[in-house]
């Protein structure tokens, strides 16, 4: 099954992706995670992306589209993929449609997680992420068993550079102007499911499972 996860920053895309890939045989493709890995490894792509990410702006379309087109040409995605954080502009969505057509693939479902702005800020500012395996926590809503330590690998948790309140506000306004129009784009394509993201993490996942059905 091929799925797109849509939603504003802090909506819970990454959190739900962790559960979806466990239950469905899909490969998680997060453009944000790919950029963060490149920043950590100090690659040329990472250096370019960091300039935009630190300000809460989108990385230019041409860099992202090429990266995703390349990822979707790899063998493992044939079992199904979950796009998290892509597409984020109408241009990216149109380019994705072309890539899918070329590779004889289609999107089965677009999952749109809806959360109000004030809740998003609280979520992003309280988020903590494992430096090693990327598991996501929240200081109040989803705390690790031991403060500051990953439950899975015992390594330190850290705060993302773009999770300062001012940067989160910028990211939300970028979302409203450039990404929200995708809801209409996919509503026209007829395969979108709007999910209430303001429930407990497990309840959100139940709603997503109902939308995805038992299809694998
Ligand atoms: P990206 O990494 O994609 O970030 P984002 O879209 O801003 O989303 P987040 O990862 O912040 O939030 P999320 O929805 O995954 O929430 P999470 O599950 O972590 O992008 C970062 C940057 O990279 C962009 O700003 C841009 O510069 C660049 N970029 C990436 N893709 C790009 C593209 N396609 N084009 C151009 N630029 C691109 O949850 C958040 C917190 O809330 C966590 O602490 C979690 O524990 C908690 N939480 C989750 N669900 C719940 C719940 N139901 N109740 C209570 N708490 C919850
Ligand atoms: Mg994320």
Bridge partners, residue 158, by sequence: 129
> What CA–CA distance (Å, rounded) separates 9 from 62?
21
By three-state DSSP, how is residue 3 classified? strand
pLDDT confidence tier of residue 216, bands split at 50, 70 and 90? low
Ligand 1 atom nearest to CA at 15: 18
Residues belonging to the active site: 13, 88, 127, 160, 171
Q: Per-residue pLDDT averaged across 95-124, rounded?
A: 96
12-44: pLDDT as tens digits: 999 999 999 999 989 999 999 999 999 999 999
Residue 165 has pLDDT above 90, yes or no: yes
- Is 135 close to ligand 1, i.e. is its CB under 6 Å away? no
CA 171 vs CA 16, 27, 117: distances in Å: 20, 26, 11
Bridge partners, residue 113, by sequence: 195
> What CA–CA distance (Å, rounded) separates 68 from 73?
9
């Amino acid at each position: 099954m091929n799925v797109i996860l849509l939603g504003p920053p802090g909506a819970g895309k990454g959190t739900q992706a962790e559960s979806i890939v466990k239950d469905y045989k899909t490969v998680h493709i997060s453009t944000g995670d790919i950029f963060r890995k490149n920043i950590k490894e100090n690659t040329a792509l990472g250096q370019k992306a960091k300039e935009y990410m630190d300000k809460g702006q989108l990385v230019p379309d041409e860099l992202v589209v090429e990266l995703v087109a390349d990822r979707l040409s790899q063998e493992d995605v044939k079992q199904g993929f979950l796009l998290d954080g892509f597409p984020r502009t109408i241009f990216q969505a149109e380019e994705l449609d072309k890539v899918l057509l070329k590779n004889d693939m289609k999107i089965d479902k677009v999952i749109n997680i809806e959360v109000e702005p004030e809740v998003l800020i609280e979520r992003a500012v309280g988020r903590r992420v494992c430096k090693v395996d990327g598991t996501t926590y929240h200081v109040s809503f989803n705390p690790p068993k031991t403060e500051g330590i990953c439950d899975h690998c015992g390594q330190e948790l850290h705060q993302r550079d773009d999770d300062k309140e001012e940067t989160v506000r910028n990211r939300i306004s970028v979302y409203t102007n450039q990404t929200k129009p995708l809801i209409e784009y996919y509503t026209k394509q007829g395969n979108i499911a709007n999910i209430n993201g303001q429930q407990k993490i497990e309840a959100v996942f139940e709603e997503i499972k109902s939308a995805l059905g038992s299809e694998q």
